[in-house]
Amino acid sequence: MFSYKDWSELLEIASAKNEPPFLLILDGIEDPHNFGAILRTAEAAGIHGVIIRKNRQVQVNDTVMRISTGAAQNVPVALVPNIAEAISNLKKEGIVVIGVEIDGKRLYNEVDLGRPLALVVGSEGSGLSRLVKERCDELVRLPMRGKTNSLNASVANGIVLYEVLRQRSQAKGR
């Protein structure tokens, strides 16, 4: 059985590393293959933790573990009853919450991602829920040039996570 964390423990992990928090919130990811791929990328990007909801969201299961190629064992995952409420709690702790959504005002690489940050990625079919969108400090989008109107959640997640790494490494002069 997978051992979930409390969301506040994710902030303690960042503090222990003396790093600005770098969290990922998943709003309704249902496909265990997507979730496993997201965890694999999140672990490689050095995320401090992932927040998921208890219901209407795939949990860490055998498929997720297998697809993540072990990353699920190294990424702290917090289980919360309500994503919108978790976002409000994070904002009270000084975390900027950026949602990745097709109707975002700015491109993902036009915002400062070096701050204490929680990125929010929505479900495969409907993206971010209305209340979650409303609670985000800002919505950003990925540029889309073809006829396809959206990317797979794990692909979009990977692009934005690595933009966070790029910005943070530039800020450190590396």
Residue 54, φ and ψ in degrees, nearest 5: -70, -35
Q: Do 114 and 91 meet the contact criterion of CB atoms below 8 Å apart?
A: no
Residue 166: inside a domain, yes or no? yes
Render the burial of 53-83: b for 16+ CB within 10 Å, e for the rest.
Answer: beeebbebeeebbebbeebbeebbbbbbeeb
- Residue 94: predicted pLDDT: 97
Closest CA to 54 of 6, 91, 93, 8: 6
Residue 20: inside a domain, yes or no? yes
Closest CA to 98 of 82, 124, 122: 122
Instruction: Tell me the pLDDT tens digit for each residue of 40-85.
Output: 999 999 999 999 999 989 999 999 999 999 899 999 999 999 999 9
Residue 67: inside a domain, yes or no? yes
Residue 7: both structure tokens together: 């969301």
Strand partners, 79: 52
Is residue 174 over pLDDT 70?
Answer: no
Number of domains in the chain: 1
Query: Which residues, 6 or more positions from 133, have their beta carbon under 8 angstroms from its beta carbon?
Result: 99, 101, 139
Residue 2: inside a domain, yes or no? no
Task: Kindly report the average pLDDT of the chain as a whole number.
Answer: 93
Residue 1: inside a domain, yes or no? no
Give the percent of the chain with pLDDT over 90. 82
- Which CATH number covers residue 126? 3.40.1280.10
Spatial separation of the C-alpha atoms in residues 143 and 150, rounded to whole Å: 9
Residue 95: inside a domain, yes or no? yes
- Crossing angle between the packed helical segments 32-44 and 153-171, to the nearest 10 degrees: 10
pTM of the shown model: 0.94
Domain interval for residue 110: 7-171
Spatial separation of the C-alpha atoms in residues 153 and 22, rounded to whole Å: 18
Q: Do 65 and 39 meet the contact criterion of CB atoms below 8 Å apart?
A: no
